[in-house]
Amino acid sequence: MNDEKILSAESITRELDTRFIGQRIFYYPSLTSTMEVARQKAQQGAAEGTVILTDEQTAGRGRLKRLWLSPKGSIALSIILYPGINHLPSILMLASLAVVHSIESVTGLKPQIKWPNDVLINDRKVCGILVENDLRGNTVNHTMIGIGINANLRISDFPEVVSVATSLSTELGREVSRFNLIKYLLIEVERLYLVLTAGGSVYEEWRDRLITLGRNVRVDTGEAIYEGVAESVARDGSLLIRSTNGSMTKVVAGDVTLPE
């Protein structure tokens, strides 16, 4: 079956057994950024669970405003949510777990999570996740989850990232069904989101999936660099780093490297 043909809003929604995630999908062959369109849709009052999906993202970005490559063959989508403010710290955890579960289900590969939200396979990045919240005081106007998965890419075609990135097709030695991956991903996002809104927690599984804990790390927050042992993570997702002098630093967000 032709992957490009089945990647449409109608085909995905038709096979989705969800209450609200993915029941409204806006599909575009090419976009600068799914997050930009998601922000516009949210400001216009889009229903919770609305998804923006594209075949190609020409100006996507990751955390710390870095460029995120999303050429044809990858998966790039954004999901609009309206959570309570108490659920915000768990949204990033939920998103990375949903990606891990869907990759496992569709491919049989064993992805790992590097704090806070990078999904790796064999120590190379296969997925980037970005969560943006629009707040007014203690009220959440909207939350957007952006997910970019290197699905069917020949990483050797992108020499600038070949040392740090991989793709599902590279790891499998064959192409993966983007349609199935997107379907599982949206189902998992809804399942975990409903766990949260029913008073449950995703923190424990997210913590246990982290490959960062117990290892020497170097964390660049964009404003400062911290080095030490990643001792634990707080329930709000912050990383607790023990430096060589014994002091503890709490890092809310940053880019982690794991020295050899």
Delimiting residues of CATH 3.30.930.10 domain(s) in the chain: 3-207
Order of strands, sheet of 112-114, starting from the edge strand that comes earlier in the sequence: 25-28, 51-54, 75-81, 139-149, 124-136, 118-121, 112-114
pLDDT of residue 60 exceeding 90, the answer is: no
Tell whether the torsion through CA atoms of 160, 32, 120 and 259 is positive or negative.
Answer: positive
Could you name the CATH architecture of 213-257? Roll (2.30)
pLDDT of residue 62 exceeding 60, the answer is: no
Distance CA 118, CA 95 (A): 10
pLDDT of residue 68 exceeding 90, the answer is: no
Delimiting residues of CATH 2.30.30.100 domain(s) in the chain: 213-257
**Taking the domain 3-207, which CATH number applies?**
3.30.930.10
Question: Mind listing the pLDDT tens digit for each residue in 138-162?
Answer: 899 999 999 999 999 998 888 888 8
Question: Mind listing the pLDDT tens digit for each residue in 208-241?
Answer: 999 999 999 999 998 999 999 999 999 999 999 9
Question: Mind listing the pLDDT tens digit for each residue in 76-91?
Answer: 999 999 999 999 999 9
Instruction: Return the DSSP state at 29.
Output: S
Question: Mind listing the pLDDT tens digit for each residue in 111-132?
Answer: 999 999 899 999 999 999 999 9
Which residue type does 201 have? S
Average pLDDT value over all residues in the chain: 92
pLDDT bracket for residue 260 (50, 70, 90):
low
